[in-house]
Chain A
Amino acid sequence: MPKDHGIGASSKRREDLRFLTGRGRYTDDINLMGQAYVHFLRSDMAHGKINGIDTSEAEKMPGVIRIFTGKDFEGVGGLPCGWQVTDRHGNPMQEPPHPILAQGKVRHVGDPICAVVAESAAQARSAAEAIMLDIEELPAVIDMKAAVQDGAPKVHDELDSNLCYDWGFVEENKDAVNKAFEEAAHVTTLELVNQRLAPNAMEPRVAVGDYAPGTDESTLYTTSQNPHVIRLLMGAFVLGIPEHKLRVVAPDVGGGFGSKIFHYAEEAFCTFAAKAIQRPVKWTASRSEAFISDAQGRDHVTKIELALDADNNFTALRTETYANMGAYLSTFAPSVPTWLHGTLMAGNYKTPLIYVNVKAVFTNTVPVDAYRGAGRPEATFQLERVIDKAARELGVDPVELRRQNFVTEFPYATPVAVEYDTGDYHATMDKLLEMIDRDGFEARAAESKARGKLRGLGINSYIEACGIAPSALVGQLGARAGLYESATVRVNATGGLVVMTGSHSHGQGHETSFAQVVADMIGIDEGMVEIVHGDTANTPMGMGTYGSRSLAVGGSAMVRATEKIIAKAKKIAAHLMEAAEGDIELKDGEFTVAGTDKSVAWGDVTLAAYVPHNYPLEELEPGLEETAFYDPNNFTYPAGAYACEVEVDPDTGKVEILSFAAADDFGNIVNPMIVDGQVHGGLAQGIGQALLENCAYDEDGQLLSASYMDYAMPRADDVPFYAVDHSCQTPCTHNPLGVKGCGEAGAIGSPPAVVNAVVDALHRGGHSHVMHIDMPLTPHRVWQAMHQA
């Protein structure tokens, strides 16, 4: 019987009532008395030298309050980067300044140059059109390999080159890896592109800055996944506002997928300008602006080589990747192609020797940072594609080749610095094969062929690292932040609870699943638990939501705080029942004394805590409120096996996904329905990457796919009904819930399944020269691949 409440129940998402009835309160719903509006005049060229800005005509336009330029921010901090990567030679990465408004140069289409603050948004925009810019266009660097050639135009004149860092991992293993390649019986090589994506959260970014002169307090309302991080970065590094004078609120947020982790210029601007003009200042991005100002994702160009011995055991892996940083370093950009990517290159396999080289490059494009999966999709894609190619070259079954090399003993220390605490990769592969009727595939392929279509099957494994992360470890790796999480559990006198969490929900359903956990621990109705998040004024310092960390890290903090609550409540109960504390048991919201029929209800104890008439005041403070901070001692490692079946129309190259199956091991599951939803969403994004999405720049740095006319988002009819299973469960060994995280798996594991399937289909159709096609596998690209000589 499926559970109907508490941990393991598919409780309906309580937040959906307001989301689906239009009663959410998003940042753009916030309008403050006397608010002004800002419009950013953005660069329409990718690279240029600013010779002059004439705002005199614009200032005379109706409604204009003030026009800001880079000059207004001289002496103000730029946007900080939160992660410093050390290169192969032990040197820190090159870290250029990132001004709020362009100073001296513009470096990508969309780079903000001026900010016009006016009485209305339309007036601000009209006035921006009257600004006279004198910008001398400079040659743009777009292609990463060209950008690191000698003599390439420099994105940042003050840097030595466009190379941010040249990272080697594990540098000490390099020679041993090279030697293993020399001794290999077989080497498979694959060059591929993991294309740039635009995150496209449904809600575009919004910021409202407010300043209270009476108390010298600033408030920023913003579309963020981590309000405390923004408060720290913006307060300490950009505007010099102490945290106790700065409040950051991220109310309902309509999706983030990573793009709302980072601290953006517009947030700092609105906060700064609100103080400067002593009025609230609001900015709402248009979708067009989102395309040229939200941090984008992926954009790796990789060569991967896999060495195998004569028995097809993987003996070594070597990769060289160019990773695009864009024009500036976004908040966590340097960590994505390094620590979130290199550490996952072992995948599910016991390859003993691995060397990963990553060259991060500045180009005249929108900054790139973490996007759903962040580094792990790039790692998984290369690895699972090269293994499929190896199987094809060797003429062996791709599933058996994987199985033969699976890690089977845990804990397993990889050669790339991480330790998998637990897992069972055969179990998810077995489950997957059960789900897809692989044996029936040949008959289905024959049926497709009879209709003139080519059917293909792609299978792969994946592993990822979630629950980021042990603070001490990431500190060593260059993070300029801790990565614990926090929760305060406040019990009210009448027994209801409010949990204030540092995690942030922007679609994940925390208000439901977090409440399930706390209610389950106490044995009360979920309706008695309210989850509060998103406001630095009423939540403890937290690091926010990304990297599928909320339940694993934030949930663990909440469990710890609730344990403290229960421990104290037991003391109170013991006093009320005149029993020994050690004999008190809590079940279904009742405290009992072991071996007796004495009991007191949860509500009696909570009331006693706040009306302490009969209370051990000498030993115990009144009240029932506890805070816990939880710092994990390892990452969690969700893993699984995915399969995709496609049909290719050989006349047009169009790919149709017929079925997609996902067998995931997420450890313990709190709410199966929410997990299904997370996997569905991830798969849709992964399929979007595999078949449709592409941020394409022309050689001048103009974004060709700058609207939905050219940027293809997956729609309902592009994706199949998914078969999703998470019954294989190896609980995480080091967090109290045994959970691993499920938010990104779908986006990480699915692109190689789709591409493997299409390549399989083409081979079956006689196009045996096609060993790889770069994503997105548009009809045009598939057709071209079939017809290239």
Chain B
Amino acid sequence: MYNFEFSKPGTIDEAVAALGADEAQALGGGQTLLPTMKQRLAAPEVLVSLTGIDQMKGICLSDAGEVCIGGATTHATVAAEAAAHYPALAALAGRIGDPAVRNRGTIGGSLANNDPSACYPAAALGSGATIITNTREIAADDYFQGMFATALDEGEIITEVRFPVPEAANYQKFVQPASRFALVGVFVAKYADGVRVAVTGASSDGVFRWTEAEEVLNGSFTKDAIDALSPPSGDMIADLHGSAEYRAHLVKVMTGRAVAAAS
């Protein structure tokens, strides 16, 4: 790790101002950023911690019935407090990493980082969530732009994420044996206006919606409907832990299981 300045503002405005400095970077739970800095792969000159901003922490229900989660809310808090409103989302948060990771890592950090194997991107895309930043609101469908790429501008902060609550939903995570991130994770959510299926871990383009599956599930929300499909095509990741073909196969298996568990 190289030396850096540290600031911990109490408001979003102060954070935005602090992030205006040269080579400044936001710090959420530090579960991704700090290991990267220790390996000297990142070298911000100023770290602006967001975890002292009360406005960005906690969970509530909006008047429209959406679950609203502050951008600096930890996975552990989501696991505990979202359970009553959105059990599938809480269960997803409860299976990220280990207790230490869950007690530090934040939803904003996870979505900003957009690791191709991370769990929250599947929930956000699969729920058609809205990512709220200090400057605008971004629909999940516009937010994710490929591995580690998002619609966020330099210095833009995720202050809140709003999840419409589905009629039924489930997340199936098939873990990569070493990291226990998702080798393939599938989030299925059934809304009055249609089913959404979001897949993480599998594609070289990052999280994506499996539209063929959504279509058949709109007709029949059953595992059988998925069993009749071919695995998704597209540019799947191939590495030590699984070939492209295996990942595509897992997408289908996990989608079927998610539907079975949700219905």
Contact = CB atoms under 8 A, between A and B. Distances in A.
A652 B178 contact: no
B135 interface: no
Contacts of A651: 253
Contact of A708 (B179, B241, B242, B250): B179
Contact of A779 (B1, B177, B179): B177
Contacts of A713: 178
Contacts of B178: 692, 705, 708-713
Contact of B240 (A129, A654, A694, A784): A694
B47 to A, nearest CB: 17
B250 A778 contact: no
Nearest to A698: B240
A778 B250 CA distance: 14
A130 to B, nearest CB: 13
B249 interface: yes
Nearest to A653: B246
Nearest to B1: A122
A704 B240 contact: yes
Contacts of A607: none
Interface in B1-36: 1-2
A779 B253 CA distance: 13
B240 A783 contact: no
A705 B240 contact: yes
A18 B253 CA distance: 48
B246 A288 contact: no
B134 interface: no
B178, B241, B249, B253: most-surrounded residue (chain A CB, <10 A): B178
B240 A710 contact: yes
B39 A288 contact: yes
Interface in B34-64: 39-40
A129 B174 CA distance: 39
A376 B120 CA distance: 45
A126, A652, A704, A784: most-surrounded residue (chain B CB, <10 A): A652
Contact of A780 (B2, B179, B243): B243
B220 to A, nearest CB: 20
A712 B177 contact: yes
A780 B242 contact: yes
A76 interface: no
A694 B1 CA distance: 29
A399 interface: no
Nearest to B177: A712
Interface string B83-116: 0000000000000000000000000000000000
Interface string A766-789: 000000000000111001100000
B169 to A, nearest CB: 21
Contact of B246 (A122, A711, A784): A784
B240 A692 contact: no
B241 A778 contact: yes
Contacts of A704: 239-240
A498 interface: no
Interface in A680-725: 691-692, 694, 696, 704-705, 708-713
A654 B242 CA distance: 12
B253 A652 contact: yes
A779 to B, nearest CB: 7
A705 B178 CA distance: 9
Contacts of A708: 178-179
A343 B197 CA distance: 57
Contacts of A652: 174, 250, 253
A692 B177 contact: yes
Given A652-B174, A696-B240, A780-B241, A710 B249 contact: no
A690 to B, nearest CB: 12
Nearest to B252: A651
Given A288-B39, A784-B246, A709 B253 contact: no
Interface in B204-263: 239-243, 246, 249-250, 253
B2 to A, nearest CB: 8
A709 B240 contact: no
Contact of B249 (A122, A129, A709, A783): A783
Contacts of A711: 178
A704 B1 CA distance: 23
Contacts of A783: 246, 249
A780 B253 contact: no
Given A651-B253, A704-B240, A705-B240, A778 B179 contact: no
B1, B174, B242: most-surrounded residue (chain A CB, <10 A): B242
A96 B196 CA distance: 62
A780 B39 contact: no
Contacts of A709: 178-179
Contacts of B246: 780, 783-784
B258 to A, nearest CB: 13
A783 B174 CA distance: 14
Contacts of B40: 125, 129
A711 to B, nearest CB: 6
A710 B174 CA distance: 15
Interface string A206-226: 000000000000000000000
Contacts of B243: 780, 784
Interface in B177-212: 177-179, 183
A783 B184 CA distance: 15
Nearest to B253: A651
Nearest to A696: B240
Contacts of A126: 2
Nearest to A125: B40
A654 B254 CA distance: 13
Interface string A615-649: 00000000000000000000000000000000000
A691 B178 CA distance: 11
B37 to A, nearest CB: 12
Interface string A489-526: 00000000000000000000000000000000000000
Interface of B: 1-2, 39-40, 174, 177-179, 183, 239-243, 246, 249-250, 253
18 contacts: A125-B40, A126-B2, A652-B174, A652-B253, A692-B178, A704-B239, A704-B240, A705-B178, A708-B178, A708-B179, A710-B178, A710-B241, A778-B241, A780-B241, A783-B246, A783-B249, A784-B243, A784-B246
Nearest 4 CB-CB pairings of A with B: A712-B178, A712-B177, A780-B242, A709-B179
Given A122-B1, A712-B177, A779-B177, 4 more contacts: A651-B253, A692-B178, A704-B240, A708-B179
